[in-house]
Amino acid sequence: MYLIVIIFHTLTSKIIIMHRRQFIQTSMLTAGALTIANSSLMAHFFTDPWKIKMLTDQIGIFTEKGGTIAFFLSNEGIIVVDAEFPEQAKHLIAELKKRSENPFKLLINTHHHTDHTSGNIEFKGLVQNVIGHENCLTNHMRVAEQQKNVDKQLFADTTFNSTWKTKIGGEKIKAHYFGAAHTNGDAIIHFQHANIAHMGDLIFNRRYAFVDRSAGANISSWIEVLEKAKNTFDNGTMFVFGHAYDPDQVTGNKDDLSAMQHYLSKLLRFVDKEIRSGKSKEEILKEKSIPGLKEWKGDGIERGLQAAYEELTVS
């Protein structure tokens, strides 16, 4: 027995004579393919928007939207470094509660920017203390007052000038401040036993960096800060970066710190050369690339150019 099957195409239609058994087999294969396709489609829609990567058995990183978060699941409590935005902080908290029954103990901010601290508020009533450099707190409060959203913030209740340290769950944690850089309140958070250092936004890995002069940033000092970091930590240290052009490249080694120094040096030298050649600020800001920096990509090149121009011209 044969069946007449009409197949419609976008532009033409065809009539195919098909044996009944062949028709049934073809229909089953088609249905199976659609089921697989629908499953893949459903999986796509219901995949968690965030990523968690464990660097050790207890220390991991969380990425979704904003600066990279690090966390330590100790047997005495959970330590979190940075908090992204409120929605992302909720995702993090829910996920960490699945992984540990211990309470949240400390939240540490590398600096004050919204993509690192606006999620702090989700930790209100959860963490015992919030830690940050004294300039981080000053900047955080200033910006919140300007934006009239102080009530939506959770500020640091414990601050430090040059270093801060604690010991918890067999791990020694030490915060270092080496001077003005991306802001004037950037701290490096070092898990000493694991030898993992969260650099915050001191590293934009192969991505054009934001230089926040309104918060005391200084490119020349930034280069020196990275040199101090290289001298403080050893060759086995794993570094966690605040941002990266490739979202999967938010960890690295000292070579990446040197690369960041190279980028900042090239940025300053390029802008200085353009100024000396007589170019105006507007002309410099139109540049789309910096010679010798093929690795650096993304948007926002003009932010670095403007910061360098201001640093070189404002007395």
8 A C-beta contact, residue 239 and residue 199: yes
pTM: 0.85
Residue 113 reports pLDDT greater than 90? yes
Phi-psi region of 265 (alpha: psi -120 to 50; beta: other; left: phi over 0): alpha
Helix axes 254-276, 301-313, angle to 10 degrees: 60
The domains of the chain are located at: 2-46, 51-250
Higher pLDDT among residues 168 and 4, named by residue: 168
Per-residue pLDDT, 22: 53
246 vs 53, 264, 284, 295, CA distance in Å? 15, 19, 27, 11
What are the pLDDT digits (tens) for 160-191? 999 999 999 999 999 999 999 999 999 999 99
Strand segments (E) across the chain: 2-8, 13-19, 51-54, 59-63, 69-74, 77-81, 104-108, 129-133, 158-160, 163-168, 171-176, 188-191, 196-198, 204-205, 238-240, 243-244, 251-252
Q: Is the pLDDT of residue 293 over 60?
A: yes
Residue range 194-222, pLDDT digits in tens: 999 999 999 999 999 999 999 999 999 99
Residue 43 pLDDT exceeds 60: no
pLDDT averaged over every residue in the chain: 89
Confidence of residue 314 (pLDDT cuts 50, 70, 90): confident
Alpha-helix residue ranges (DSSP H) falling in 47-108:
86-99
Confidence of residue 48 (pLDDT cuts 50, 70, 90): confident
Is 80 exceeded by the pLDDT of residue 224? yes
Residue 228 Cα distances to 131, 179, 244, angstroms: 22, 10, 21
What superfamily in CATH does domain 51-250 come from? Ribonuclease Z/Hydroxyacylglutathione hydrolase-like (3.60.15.10)
